[in-house]
Amino acid sequence: MTPQEILAQYGPRESMEYDVVVVGGGPAGMATAIRIKQLAAEKGQEVSVVVLEKGAEPGAHTLSGAVVDPIALNELFPDWKERGAPLNQPVIDDKVLFLAEDGGTATTRMLSQPRQLRGGAGLAGEVAGRAG
């Protein structure tokens, strides 16, 4: 079918115009969209932003059970705790394991990249909720 035949059979495509199109609804895409809107609001400007995500909802392809360092949340939404963000389990331990068929072996801190958790919060009890 030619473009003219498609247009004649199905009609014109629906379209919407935006000032900014962000591709990907993961953490970086959502932070980008939020920050663009915040910067525009600070300048008293209106900007239309759309986030295109191939998943069923924003963040659908983000790993669950992540350990989250809330620095970016603090920068984007200083009141995120008061708003009720579901980050309730503080990080109490940090381990890196090498997994094999017969189990896992913990690394020493020298072999694993050190993390500075700075008050990070985890979403999964398996990662963040157990000590030892």
Q: Does residue 58 sit in the same domain as residue 43?
A: yes
* 1 within domain boundaries: no
Q: Does residue 38 sit in the same domain as residue 83?
A: no
Domain count, the chain: 2
Q: Does residue 48 sit in the same domain as residue 85?
A: no
Answer with the residue of higher pLDDT: 123 or 72.
72
* Whole-model pTM over 0.75: no
Residue 26 has pLDDT above 90, yes or no: no
The per-residue pLDDT for range 85-107, each reduced to its tens digit, is 877 777 777 777 778 888 877 77
As given in the structure block, the two tokens for residue 84 are 């009720």
Residue 17 has pLDDT above 90, yes or no: yes
* 97 within domain boundaries: yes
> pLDDT band for position 108 (50/70/90)?
low
Inter-CA distances, 39 with 28, 34, 44, 74, 108, Å: 16, 9, 9, 16, 43
Q: Does residue 89 sit in the same domain as residue 131?
A: yes
pLDDT at 125: 36
The domain of 88 spans: 63-132
Q: Does residue 32 sit in the same domain as residue 95?
A: no
